[in-house]
Structure 1
């Protein structure tokens, strides 16, 4: 299936990627390009996904701050107990937050949003994945890759 591009005032030009069956674009966040992807497993929900994505992007500073706090809550102890380099000292929550970098967002038809963070080499280069449900509650934090 090949779908047309969508021009959106907040999300920019969304291009359909047949390989992943999603629309993708980039937005500027803190002076860097952030990739966004909208999974469209169900074409009937494209409008609701666009609405959800534009709402999150509009308030992204707040959501990203909350995602980082959630990552600290769920992953800092793991970092300090089992992922320290030789001669590395325990990290504080601020040091942890300062090292992770938001790189992408994936929006699902069910309203979930996945925040993909570069780990700043906290977990030897693995990606940090934070999941927010349709009610804007963070429900999972994991390392991946």
Structure 2
């Protein structure tokens, strides 16, 4: 399973470098087929992406989940577990970052005249639909959202870390 942004990058030939080229073919071949997690059951290796992939529920929505296997897979899984343990708080913080970084851009540059008045922060956040979460070592994460037709189908992504919180929202794909 790939998140939409990674899939788009792969189609352009800009996607992740295959694990065999990053970590060495022998190391990637040694990764177990499945990764055990009570919080995120069904994690299966994707050696091409260098990650473990599954589908899980986040705030009642089934999404794709990617656990980075390139560095310290246990630390990356810990990142995901920390996010899942406090979904409500993280969801609010992630959406607040998306609003802070992208609402003005939408209202000034992307909004159609026939749409009427500028979107409010709440209306903007309500149009974003979470699609996937990627968790990495060192507490790093990226949340990917469908744009609710605000940015011509571009993916909205928010990057951050457990330590610093959400740092930046941007458009991709």
Q: Same fold (TM over 0.5)?
A: yes
State the alpha-carbon separation in 1 of the partners of residues 95 and 137 from structure 2: 23
State the alpha-carbon separation in 2 of the partners of residues 6 and 133 from structure 1: 22
Q: Which has the higher contact order (CA 8 A, sep 6+)?
A: 2
Find the counterpart in structure 2 of residue 83 from structure 1: 110
Which ranges of structure 1 fall in alignment gaps of 5 or more residues? none
State the alpha-carbon separation in 1 of the partners of residues 96 and 59 from structure 2: 18
Q: CA RMSD in A?
A: 1.3
Given candidates 43, 47, 57, the residue that maps to 1:28 is 57
Runs of 4+ residues over 6 Å off in structure 1? none
Q: Deviations over 1:62-84 (max 9, x none)?
A: 10111101111110000000001
Which ranges of structure 2 fall in alignment gaps of 5 or more residues? 1-27
Between 1:130-139 and 1:14-23, the stretch displaced more is 130-139
State the alpha-carbon separation in 2 of the partners of residues 137 and 32 from structure 1: 22
1:49 aligns with 2:76: yes
Q: Deviations over 1:55-102 (max 9, x none)?
A: 111212210111101111110000000001241121111110110011
In structure 1, the residue corresponding to 2:115 is in which secondary structure?
A: coil
Between 1:96-105 and 1:27-36, the stretch displaced more is 27-36
Count of matched residue positions in the alignment of Structure 1 and Structure 2: 143
In structure 2, the residue corresponding to 1:12 is in which secondary structure?
A: coil
State the alpha-carbon separation in 2 of the partners of residues 29 and 140 from structure 1: 20
Cα offset, 1:30, TM superposition: 3.4
From the two aligned structures, give the one with the greater helix fraction.
2
What does 1:66-105 correspond to in 2, within 5 Å?
66-89=93-116, 90-105=118-133
From the two aligned structures, give the one with the greater strand fraction.
1
Given candidates 137, 143, 146, the residue that maps to 1:115 is 143
TM-score normalized by structure 2? 0.78
State the alpha-carbon separation in 1 of the partners of residues 65 and 164 from structure 2: 17
State the alpha-carbon separation in 2 of the partners of residues 124 and 137 from structure 1: 27
Between 1:102-111 and 1:67-76, the stretch displaced more is 102-111
1:58 aligns with 2:101: no
